Structure 1
Amino acid sequence: MSYPEFLEYPEPRYHGERGEVNAAFRPASTPPDISSPGGGATHYIATNESTGGEFGLYKVELGARAAGAKTHFHKAMSESFYILSGELELYNGERWVTGREGDFLYVPVGGLHAFKNVTDEPMSMLLLFSPGAPREEYFERVAEMSQRGGEELKRFRIRHDSYFVEDFEPEGSRGACHPAVSSPDGS
């Protein structure tokens, strides 16, 4: 492979001459930041705060038959999925695909996407948001807010740059014209 003589890198943001000691190490043995019934857990690997807003990286473990998230998009950030173990059904905006260990899905800003575990086995993945955003409150309160539902849930989602298709469809048409709200087998 050949490379152009002049490569375009972002403008420098560090202007020192010798570098500095500022790396952050997080051991694998760090317990999850959130645990949920059914074997779910979320690990805050690198947050918006710890990366200065550059990105957010989270390890998410879903238990068997975990609902995941219905079809939505983000206006301010991209989202990437990297499957570490197990299988995950991913909606890529057009169709459902099965993600397995080592598979990757990049969803640009504004891209429709959804995910769920339809298997009888747990799975784990890395979620990367870029640029970083304060996602921790979303992860910590989404189950509670989903129980409340209605306008309160919709406001919570929008506060966290999560625009769910179902929040903007007329009442009688939910799921009627969007394949992502049905299961991968069409039911």
Structure 2
Amino acid sequence: MSYWEQLDYPAARYHGDKGEVNASFRPADTPPEVSSPGGSTAYLATNEMTGGEFGLYKGELAARSAGAKTHFHRAMSESFYILSGELELYNGEKWLTGRTGDFLYVPAGGLHAFKNVTDEPVSMLMLFAPGAPREEYFERVAEMTRRGGGELERFRVRHDSYFLENPEDPAPGKE
């Protein structure tokens, strides 16, 4: 490939001449925003922070954590990067074992799921693009799951999460 050809970059969004001081730094020892016995979620770059470009979250799942059952998103892609441990990832067709350094990209509409089936914790990055206000989802999903019914369904739709709940649909553990 020749690098002298025209490259297709996105349209400019910053039109100043000298740049700005506007970077955000999060120290590694910042406590996660959401914690439970099953794991935690740290907000590295929220939809608000990135102006809707992306959302980046660090997820920690405890040993034998259920994770998320098979679902898809209509408005955003979701990517997983394994920082440490092993995570079972469903790519819409089959379960894969993700290990440190492995990456899974799921385009909008792509079926996916994840779970920790090991006796060790797992740490991962989750990237949503474009960004979406996922914080309420992370903060309330356990509570809404306990409530169930129509309230859970409305919560999921509000957060662009469409779960397969028909017994014939592929689901974690039904490979």
**Range into which the TM-score falls when normalised by the shorter chain:** over 0.9
Say which of 163, 171, 175 aligns to 1:180: 171
What SS is found at the alignment partner of 2:151? helix
Q: Aligned residue for 1:139?
A: 138
Q: What residue in structure 1 maps to residue 44 of structure 2?
A: 45
State how far apart, in whole Å, the 2-side matches of 1:119 and 1:112 are: 23
* Number of residue pairs the alignment of both structures matches: 175
Matched, 1:149 2:111: no
Asked whether the 8 Å contact 1:82–1:102 carries over to 2, the reply is: yes
Q: Which runs of 5+ in 2 are unaligned?
A: none
Q: Which residue of 1 aligns with 2:111?
A: 112
Q: Which runs of 4+ in 1 moved over 2 A?
A: 1-4, 177-183
Unaligned runs of 5+ in 1: 167-173
Q: Give how far 1:181 is off.
A: 3.6
Residues 1-187 of structure 1: pairs in structure 2 closer than 5 A: 2-3=2-3, 5-38=5-38, 40-166=39-165, 174-175=166-167, 177-182=168-173, 186=175
TM-score normalised over the length of structure 1: 0.90
TM-score (norm 2): 0.96
Equivalent pair of 1:95/1:180 in contact (CA under 8 Å): no
Q: CA offsets, 1:129-170, max 9 Å, x none?
A: 00110000000000000001111111100000001111xxxx
Amino acid at match of 2:141: V
Distance 1:17 1:95 in 2: 50
Hey, what's the Cα distance between the residues in 2 that align with 1:134 and 1:14? 23
1:171 aligns with: none
Give the Cα separation in 1 of the matches to 2:88 and 2:57: 18
- 1:29 CA drift (Å): 1.0
1:60/1:126 contact within 8 Å kept: yes
Identity %: 77
C-alpha displacement of 1:68: 0.4
Q: In the alignment, is the contact (CA less than 8 A) between 2:50 and 2:131 conserved in 1?
A: yes
